[in-house]
Amino acid sequence: MEIGKIPENVLKRSVLKQIRHRREEVLLSAGVGEDCSAVKLEEGEVFILSVDPITAAEKGMGTLAVHVTANDLASSGAEPVGVLLSILLPPRKREKYLKELMEEIEAVCRKLNMEVLGGHTEVTDVVNQPVVTVTGVGKVKEGHIISTAGLKPGDELVMTKWAGLEGTAILAAEKREKLLETLPQELLDTAAGFIEQISVIPEAMAARDFGVHSMHDVTEGGIFGALWEVGAASGTGIEADLKKIPIRQETIEICEVFSLNPYQMMSSGSLLIGCEHGNRLVEVLEQAGIPAAVIGKVTAGNDRIIKNGDEVRYLEPADSDELHKVSET
């Protein structure tokens, strides 16, 4: 496609034609010439807003773009309502790619009962691969917001699903040929299917209703990064047990091929929760079909550590995600 704003005919047939109106709160949404959207709140409700760029994956980019932002909203206890999109494409991309990207985005919105509220689409030589930036809009009852910074000493830390979930799915899809040199096809098919587990909305809503103090979706930097972040945000210490952190064998084997640490790799789809009575919450989640485990506790002070038997590792702020090491090779 040519550099510049997407032509109106392309916008209509490959973007707007894919979008459906499904939320009664949305009064004004995506359309030709519409630069703003309008969403109505009920009395006692507040907006929750979040923004995320997706740059690390091209396959499944639309799926990740919506899920990652919806997860941020759900982690605050909010019901996701919709997304605003900024899509930047390099000139080599054809209209077919844009249409398929929008179909993918709309499919996730339909599944999550969300709506594309509006956005901007442009072809530019400033980028050499697609960049999708998503601003999410959610709503929650006033006084029911759950923050990352809500941990209290004595809380237990519950983790849903498993470490490295998102990164495993991305690698299995995008580095399939390389991985097939050493790993069986069945393992890679299973790993690529992890993308179906990327939403944390079900566990976030269950945890909110259970009455938890803190929630944080495990994204860049993996579970080690998330543990540091919740402790730093709350001004508390963290003590986690490496052997209790759930991880899949598919993740271990894929990470071994690229010499990656799975505990420091993108893990969207996993939710880190701080609460009293962690084992009781695990039971509630498992009854809903969501795997979960108590992996540690919140302590007074500032030490944030991972124990592995007698070995102790002090956590630090997350550096570049392990997944980027593969992109650089």
Secondary structure (H, E, C), the chain: CCCEECCHHHHHHHHHHHCCCCCCCEEECCCCCCCCCEECCCCCEEEEEEEEEECCCCCCHHHHHHHHHHHHHHHCCCEEEEEEEEEEECCCCCHHHHHHHHHHHHHHHHHHCCEEEEEEEEECCCCCCCEEEEEEEEEEECCCCCCHHHCCCCCEEEEECCCCHHHHHHHHHHCHHHHCCCCCHHHHHHHHHHHHHCCCHHHHHHHHHHCCCEEEECCCCHHHHHHHHHHHHHCCEEEEEHHHCCCCHHHHHHHHHHCCCHHHCCCCCCEEEEECCHHHHHHHHHHCCCCEEEEEEEECCCCEEEEECCEEEECCCCCCCHHHHHHCC
pLDDT at 319: 85
Structural domains in the chain plus CATH codes: 4-141 (3.30.1330.10), 148-327 (3.90.650.10)
pLDDT at 329: 54
148-202: per-residue pLDDT in tens? 999 999 999 999 999 999 999 999 999 999 999 999 999 999 999 999 999 999 9
In angstroms, rounded to a whole number, what is the distance separating the alpha carbons of residues 194 and 69? 18
Q: Phi and psi dihedrals of 170, rounded to 5?
A: -65, -50
In angstroms, rounded to a whole number, what is the distance separating the alpha carbons of residues 216 and 114? 21
CB 271 within 8 A of CB 281: no
Non-local (6+) Cβ contacts of 89 within 8 A are 1, 97, 98, 121, 122, 123, 124, 127, 130
In angstroms, rounded to a whole number, what is the distance separating the alpha carbons of residues 219 and 75? 12
Given its phi and psi angles, is residue 103 left (phi above 0), alpha (psi -120 to 50 degrees) or beta? alpha
pLDDT at 137: 97
Position 117: which residue type?
L
> 273 pairs with which residues across the strands?
158, 215
Q: Which residue has the tokens 């069945």?
A: 186
Q: Compute the residue count for the chain.
A: 329
pLDDT at 186: 97
Q: Which residues of the chain have pLDDT under 50?
A: none
CB 212 within 8 A of CB 154: no
pLDDT at 328: 58
